[in-house]
Amino acid sequence: MTQVDFYVLEERATGDRFTLACRLVEKAWKQGRRVYLHTGSEAESLHMDRLLWIYREGSFLPHGLVKNADPALNPVLIGNGNNAGDEHDVLVNLASEVPGFFSRFERVVEPLDSNTDVRTAGRTRFRFYRDRGYPLNSHTIQK
């Protein structure tokens, strides 16, 4: 069954859910995991594509947009909509809703920041997973 982890930035923490997603993607990649980074729009996908190049000096994450990247060369794919390719390892969800394909992934990661709308949508997703019996963890990120 899919494991779901919520990562919640404290209000005093630096960054936002997008930079937190970069940190979580990097950690998963270093563990040898494949990651599908799901966003709520094409603009957010492009933002994440740029951010993964610059979010931390000296870091490198092989990534690309799912619509035009070779999965064999890119263990981190970014997209939105209903096409997650053939990915099934780690899903990082930045969209406001639960993607319909989430259950094929071994793990779902839900990064949240202090934005009121983001927190509200996150609580709705938490209830969705909980009500369907998915194992849940919540982690508070302080910095």
Q: Which pLDDT score, from 0 to 100, does residue 14 have?
A: 83
Q: Which pLDDT score, from 0 to 100, does residue 25 have?
A: 97
Range of the domain at 104: 3-141
In the chain, how many domains are there? 1
Average pLDDT, the chain: 95
CATH label of the domain that carries residue 93: 3.40.50.10110
Q: Which pLDDT score, from 0 to 100, does residue 11 have?
A: 86
% of the chain at pLDDT higher than 70: 100
Closest among 126, 74, 59 to 98, alpha carbons compared:
126
Q: Rounded to whole angstroms, how far apart are CA atoms 81 and 104?
A: 16
pLDDT in tens, 72-113: 999 999 999 998 989 999 999 999 999 999 999 999 999 999
Does residue 15 have a pLDDT over 90? no
Q: Which pLDDT score, from 0 to 100, does residue 126 have?
A: 98
* Section 31-54 average pLDDT: 97
Q: Which pLDDT score, from 0 to 100, does residue 133 have?
A: 98
Distance of CA 25 to the CA centre of its chain: 7
Is the alpha carbon torsion for 127, 136, 85, 76 positive or negative? positive
